[in-house]
Structure 1
C-alpha cells in the first residue's frame, strides 16, 4: 500500500510540475501589438532548396512594385535560379575551381539578373518541382548532378576547354528548373523578360546594400567577405546604430528590407521567434551554470527558451561584438528573409515582423517576430531602396 501511495504521490507531483511549467510558458508567451505593417505578397515555400536568397529578394521586389504601383505580382524564382547558376558556374570555371559553387546566393543575384536578363511572372515556367515529379523544389538530385559537373570542368587538366560544357549544364538547368522563355504573354500582352521588368514600375538603380563592420572604413563601400557574395557587389558600411536607423526609417516610410544574416543561433526558433539570447543571464535565472548550458541538448535549450519566452534575457549588441563574431566565424551568412513591419510585446519590447520562405510554418504561419536586438547582432547585410535611407545618412554616403 505504501508503495502504491508513493507512486501516486510522485505522479501527482509530476503532473503538478508539468502544469506549473505549462502555466509559466503561457504567461511568458509574447502577445504582439502591431506598430507598423507594410504590404507584402503571399508566403512562399523554398522547400528543399538553398534558395532563400532568391525567394526573399523576389518577395522584396514584389513588395517594392506593390508600394510603387499598387499591383500584386508573383515573380518567378526559377527564372532567377536558372540564370544565376549558369553565371556562377562560369565564374567557378574561370577561377579554375578556386571558388565555391553552391545553392546559396545573395540579394545581388536577383538584382543582377533583373538588370541583365529581366524577369518573368510565375506560370511562364514549370511550377517548382513539377518537372521531376515533386510538388515543390527539391535540389538534392539536381545539385548532385551539377556540383560534380562544374567541378570536372573547373578542375580539368586540359590546356584548353571548349564551350560545350555550357550547353550541357544548360540542359541540366532546364531539365530541373525549366527553360527560360524568350517571349511570353501576360494578361493579354506580349513581353520579353526585359520588357516585362521595365513594365513593373520600379527603377532597378534605386537599390543599395547596407552592412556594418569595422575592418573597413565607415561610409565607404566594400564587398562583404562571404562565399555566397560571389559577384562581389559593394555594400555601404555604416556604424551599427545608423544601420538600424536605416531599417527603422524604411519601415516607417512604407518600404521593406531584403535582410541577410545569421539564424543559426539558439534564440532563432522554428516557431516564429528570434531573440539574441544572453546565455550567461539565462542560465543564472535557471540556477545552472555555463558548463551545464553548453552541455544541454538542443531540445533542452529550446524548452528553456520557450519557458522564458518574451522574458528571455538578451545581449546588448555592440559594434565590437559584431566584428568579433564576424571574424571568428560565429556571425554567418545563413538565411535571407524580408523585414516588413514592427510590433511590440506585452513588455514593450520591439520586434521586426519578418516574412520567411518556409511555407506557412510555425506559430505565426510563415511570419517571424525577430527582436531589434537580434537583427542588430546578426545582420550580415541587406538590400533596401536608397529612398528609404534617412537624408542625413544618404548625404554621408554620397547617394
Structure 2
C-alpha cells in the first residue's frame, strides 16, 4: 500500500513539475501609437504598418495623433508597379505586396494626406477588398505587354490611372484638416516627416556587413537598398530604438505555426509545433538562433517576406525573457485583451524570422552609424 501511495505521489509531483506555465507579460516599454485597424482583404500590410509607424513618428515629432491615409500611398504606388511590370515585359511581380521603403518613396514624391481626405473606400463600403481591382489591372497590363498593336503607345498609363480612380477614388489636390487648407506636400511639411531620415536594416551572410545591397525578395519591385549588419546588431538596433523613444517598422515571416494572433505570441520552440491548432499559450524552451541557421532558413524558403508590422514596445515574461510588442493590422482581437491586436514576439522569433527593420537614423547607436557612414 505504501509503495502504491509513493508511486502516486511521485506521479503527481512529476505532472506538477513539468506542467507548462502560460505566458504572463509585463510591458516595459510602451511607445505612443494610433489604434489598431484592419487592412481588410488586401495585401497592403506594407502600407498599413508603415503608415502606423509614420503616425508614431508624427506623434514623436509634433505631439499630434493623426490618422494618415494608407490608401493614398497605395494609390500612388500602383503606377510605379505597373511601369516596372510593363517595362520588364511581365518578367516581374505585379501584386498587392510592397515594402516599407515603397511608402517612403510615395511620401517623398506625393506627400501625405489624412484618412479623412482619402479613405480609398466608396460610399457604403466599410472594408478594403482589392482582389477585383488587382485582377483587372494585371489583365490590362498583360494585354499591353503582348502589344497587339505592334507598337506600345503611351495610352496604357492613363488607362491604368483611370481604373485606380474608379476603384480607389481620385486623389485630392487640396483638402481641409483642422480648419486649414492643405495640399499633400504642405501636409507632409506640417507633420515634420522627412522620408530621407529613415533607413532599412537587415542581416544576411551572403553580403558584406556594413554595406548596402538590393535584397532579392519578390516584393522588392522597386529595388530598395538595405544596410547589412550582424544579427546581434540587428537585435541591438531594434532594442536601442525602442529604449530611446523610436518605434520600429518590421518586415518578417508570420507563416510559422508558432505565430499566434489568437494567443498574441510568436516564438520558436525547440520542439517543432506541426500546426497552429497545436500551439498554445504555454512557455516553451526556445531554439538558439545563429546567423548561419537564419541564412539557411532564408535560402531554403522556410523564411520568406510575407508580412509587415509595427513594433511599438518591449515586454518581459514571468521568467524575465524579453519580447517585442508588435502592432498588427488584422484588426482587434478583443478575446485576448490587453493584447488587443498586438503580438508578443520572442527574441528567438525576431532573430530567425525578421527580414528587415526600418528606423529613423537617429535611433541607430553612434558606433553603428559610423560603420554605415550615416
Same fold at TM > 0.5: yes
Matches within 5 A, 1:351-390: 351-361=323-333, 363=336, 364-390=339-365
- For 2:298, the equivalent position in structure 1 comes to 326
Q: Which runs of 5+ in 2 are unaligned?
A: 1-14
- TM-score (normalised: structure 1): 0.85
In 2: Cα distance, 1:141 partner to 1:202 partner: 33
Q: Within the alignment, does 1:99 sit opposite 2:99 as a pair?
A: no
- For 1:274, the equivalent position in structure 2 comes to 266
Matches within 5 A, 1:123-162: 123-125=116-118, 127-131=119-123, 133-162=124-153
Q: What is the CA distance between 1:128 and its match in structure 2?
A: 4.4
Are the aligned partners of 1:310 and 1:345 in contact in 2 as well (CA < 8 Å)? Answer: no
- For 2:187, the equivalent position in structure 1 comes to 196
In 1: Cα distance, 2:323 partner to 2:199 partner: 24
Q: Which SS does the other structure have where 2:260 is aligned? A: coil
Match of 1:261 among 252, 257, 261: 252
Are the aligned partners of 2:72 and 2:120 in contact in 1 as well (CA < 8 Å)? Answer: no
Q: What is the CA distance between 1:165 and its match in structure 2?
A: 1.5
In 1: Cα distance, 2:282 partner to 2:268 partner: 11
Are the aligned partners of 2:50 and 2:103 in contact in 1 as well (CA < 8 Å)? Answer: yes
Are the aligned partners of 1:259 and 1:339 in contact in 2 as well (CA < 8 Å)? Answer: yes
In 2: Cα distance, 1:264 partner to 1:395 partner: 35
| CA distances 1:232-280 after superposition (whole Å, capped 9, x unpaired) | 1111000000011000000000101110010001110121210112235
- For 2:6, the equivalent position in structure 1 comes to none
In 2: Cα distance, 1:202 partner to 1:117 partner: 13
In 1: Cα distance, 2:292 partner to 2:343 partner: 27
| CA distances 1:298-320 after superposition (whole Å, capped 9, x unpaired) | 3xx533x21xx342232111100
Q: What is the CA distance between 1:215 and its match in structure 2?
A: 0.8
Q: What is the CA distance between 1:331 and its match in structure 2?
A: 0.9
| CA distances 1:121-154 after superposition (whole Å, capped 9, x unpaired) | 11112x44435x4321011222221221122212
| CA distances 1:70-123 after superposition (whole Å, capped 9, x unpaired) | 111110011101110111001111111110100000001110011011011111
Q: Within the alignment, does 1:240 sit opposite 2:231 as a pair?
A: yes
In 2: Cα distance, 1:199 partner to 1:313 partner: 48
The structure whose residues are more often helix, as a share, is 1
- For 2:69, the equivalent position in structure 1 comes to 76
Structure 1 residues 155 and 384: CA distance shift in structure 2, 3 A = farther
Matches within 5 A, 1:217-228: 217-228=208-219
Are the aligned partners of 1:56 and 1:336 in contact in 2 as well (CA < 8 Å)? Answer: yes
Q: Within the alignment, does 1:215 sit opposite 2:206 as a pair?
A: yes
In 2: Cα distance, 1:218 partner to 1:172 partner: 43
| CA distances 1:35-81 after superposition (whole Å, capped 9, x unpaired) | 11111111111010000000000000110110111111110011101
